[in-house]
Amino acid sequence: MTTNIPPVLLVGMGKMGGAMLAGWRERGLAPSIAVDPAQPAGQTPGVALVPDADGIPQAFAPAAVVLAVKPQNADATVPLYARFSGSAVFLSIMAGRTLAGLRGMLGAQAAIVRAMPNTPAAVRQGIAVACAGEDVTAAQRALCDTLLEAIGTVAWVDDERLLDPVTAVSGGGPAYVFLLAELLETAAIEQGIPPDLARLLARQTVSGSGALLAASTEDAATLRKAVTSPKGTTERALAVLMEDSAWPALVSRAIEAATARSRDLAG
């Protein structure tokens, strides 16, 4: 396989880190290292697994260090990798952790990109929004774009403050969609539909609607109206869901709460 991605140091092999690593390997990843105390030390094709920063060979020179640990663990973990500042670009996918805060842990010379991907990355259908620090070069930004593009769509913003509502909308968004599928399944069972059929109806309706939305040039409101026949069953259901205290208000409150929590995580 042609090598399209230079050596990477991945810190954290949770679901998102693992999804990113799989995407990079599909694109042709140069020999790299992944750090995670929960993973058994050893070697997978092209990637050495080590339990901690002490296991990284001194000669290893990654082009990028990807910080994929929980934001609550950042203070204890991130400073361990400061020795790569000035040579590698740091790509952080930790919610809430700001460029300034990361620079305080890594040193003033650190080139840092913040990004917020989401879990559809596991099937290469994610969306990641990224923001580059002022010391990031064009080549380093292009590398981070390549790393994120391996798991889905990438968008860039100049205003770092936008990453907090991005985290609330797209970072947590898959959970909200899965909740919809869960509630549809439960409601179907309540109406007498057998559980297996209820699950099939809920899952296929949600996934099929998402595919239709992705394929359409029309906005979501137009697609919704196309399903809603006047005085029909869908109109009756939407009348309940769109009451003043129902979905419109609840979704706004939910995104506001998640945005505030993202800001809290900055520490």
Read off the DSSP letter of residue 169.
I
Tell me, what's the pLDDT at 118?
A: 96
Average pLDDT, the chain: 94
Q: Enumerate the H helices of the chain as residue ranges.
A: 15-27, 74-77, 99-106, 138-149, 163-166, 173-190, 195-215, 220-227, 233-241, 247-264
Beta bridge partners of residue 130, listed in sequence order: 115, 156
Tell me, what's the pLDDT at 208?
A: 97
Mean pLDDT of 115-139: 96
Tell me, what's the pLDDT at 44?
A: 75
Give helix 220-227 / helix 195-215 axis angle, nearest 10°.
Answer: 130
Per this entry, what is the length of the chain?
A: 267
The rounded Cα 6 to chain-centroid distance in angstroms is: 22
Assigned architecture for domain 8-164 = 3-Layer(aba) Sandwich (3.40)
Question: How many Cβ atoms sit within 10 Å of the Cβ of residue 7?
Answer: 17
Query: Is the pLDDT reported for residue 116 higher than 90?
Result: yes
Domain spans of the chain? 8-164, 173-264
Mean pLDDT of 162-168: 96
Q: How confident is the model at residue 46 (pLDDT cuts 50, 70, 90)?
A: confident
Query: Is the pLDDT reported for residue 94 higher than 70?
Result: yes
Query: Is the pLDDT reported for residue 247 higher than 60?
Result: yes
Which is nearest to 103 in space by CA: 127, 133, 83? Answer: 133
Please, which residues have CB within 8 angstroms of residue 90's CB and are 6 or more apart in sequence? 64, 65, 66, 67, 81, 84, 102, 106, 110, 111, 112, 113
Tell me, what's the pLDDT at 265?
A: 84
Query: Is the pLDDT reported for residue 2 higher than 80?
Result: no
CATH of domain 173-264: 1.10.3730.10
Q: Which two tokens stand for residue 85?
A: 């500042």
**Which amino acid is located at 124 in the chain?**
R
